[in-house]
Amino acid sequence: MSAEPIQGRGCSCSGGAGISRRDFLFAGALALSSIPLAALGAAAGFAPGTVLLKAAYARQRIASLSQLVTGMPLYFDYPRPDLPNLLVKLGTAAGGGLGAQRDIVAFNLRCTHMGGDLSRAFQPAQQVLGPCPRHLTSFDLTRHGLVITGSATESLPQIELELDGDTIYAVGVMGLAYGETGTGSA
């Protein structure tokens, strides 16, 4: 069975084959690697063998595990000072989730449709980011930022996290933030 593509900015998500021209350009600029979704934790609904493309950036400390409170997001910029993101302990297992419950995730806060500001759109009861204030897209934070409803067609870029002792680090981005070209400029 062939894998179904995932909609995602900067993603070529069909088992590693058939990378688009855009992704080749992106790969040349940012040293992409592919990650099997199965290795990222719970991600129900994706086809077997599906992969995400990840851009690696410098590791950056973003929070302490012990300071996180379920449903209370923290905000940080990564991989540049003008790229805002949210870090949150969802309280339910999520694709790519960190920690004992695999429920700690981080996502970029630029809507993938037209760059709407999602910084006030987190819905803790639903584990959703949205609706976007511009055209009402909502994204599922338990499933790698997939679009639930609205005008966007691409998933929200997910920040790859690592845990070292009590410290949470950002180490890469799965996808491209809205407006990013893959060459380090917006």
Is residue 50 at the binding interface for ligand FES, with CB under 6 A as the rule?
Answer: no
Amino acid at 89: K
Q: Say if CB 186 and CB 179 are below 8 A apart.
A: yes
- Cα gap 122→21, rounded to integer Å: 33
135 catalytic per annotation = yes
* Least separation in angstroms between CB 180 and ligand FES: 15
Of these residues, 113, 138, 144, 145, which one is catalytic? Answer: 113
144 catalytic per annotation = no
Token representation of residue 38: 């199965």
Site string for ligand FES, 141-160 (x = CB under 6 A): ---------xxx--------
SS3 of 16-69: the string is: CCCCCHHHHHHHHHHCEEEEEHHHHCCCCCCCCCCEEEEEEEEEEEEEEHHHCE
Q: Among the candidate windows 24-32, 38-46, 109-117, 157-165, which touches ligand FES by CB under 6 A?
A: 109-117
* Least separation in angstroms between CB 120 and ligand FES: 13
Residue with Cβ nearer ligand FES (22 or 134): 134
Q: Which of 146, 164, 142, 170 is nearest to 156 (CA)?
A: 146
List interacting residues with ligand FES (CB under 6 A). 111, 113-116, 132, 134-137, 150-152
